[in-house]
Amino acid sequence: MPYTRIKICGITRPEDAQVAVAHGADAIGLVFYANSPRAVNPGQAEEILRVVPPFVSTVALFVDEQASVIEGIMSALPIDMLQFHGEESADFCEQFRRPYLKALRVKPGLDLVEAAAPYGSARGLLLDSWQEGVPGGTGKTFEWGLAESLREHAVVLAGGLSAANVGEAIARLAPAGVDVSGGVESAPGIKDAGRIKEFISAVRATD
């Protein structure tokens, strides 16, 4: 039976991480990008990570960050996976010797196969919506048909997902995982327990 992995991203409070885990999230995401309304600093991240139990993955998201900053966070915090949401090259992503996701921002005209080709070492390709000047977290979906060329890859689907549409997305694309942030929030960075439960239930119902 298929099992779609679920990541709840943009966690800013320990209680939100606890709710996500309690309802069955496979991973939580921490945003280390100062321009995001969901950004956390290392101190906040440490408090959140204290409540994450064994076998739930922790993912640190960066956007064109300096290698030294990433290395500092990796050495200070128990991070399982890195997520690169900017213009990072494959060589840059690989230097940390840690499993990573590479985000590709999808828009009409983008050759996804060509864009994905350099990142053969990535654990997965995260497909998000393109918006000028915004590296992610747009809250908007993209044309899912554009992702069908990557069926042979481990795809994590993001961009405007919610309990209302995630089932359709999974049925259409059968991604390895789904990633949600704004779709389970009451305000930017503040997760809503009811929406988290509904989202995860919708994924599992489709599985």
Pick the catalytic residue: 16, 26, 128, 179? 128
Give me the sign of the Cα torsion angle 168, 201, 194, 39. negative
Tell me how far apart the alpha carbons of residues 181 and 39 are, in angstroms, rounded to a whole number. 12
Q: CB-based burial of residue 41 (10 Å sphere; 0-12 exposed, 13-18 middle, 19+ buried)?
A: exposed
Reference 92, options 57, 126, 118; nearest CA is 118
Residue 93 is among the residues annotated as catalytic for this protein: no
Tell me how far apart the alpha carbons of residues 101 and 92 are, in angstroms, rounded to a whole number. 12
Residue 128 is among the residues annotated as catalytic for this protein: yes
Pick the catalytic residue: 9, 16, 26, 179? 9
Q: Which residues are catalytic?
A: 9, 128
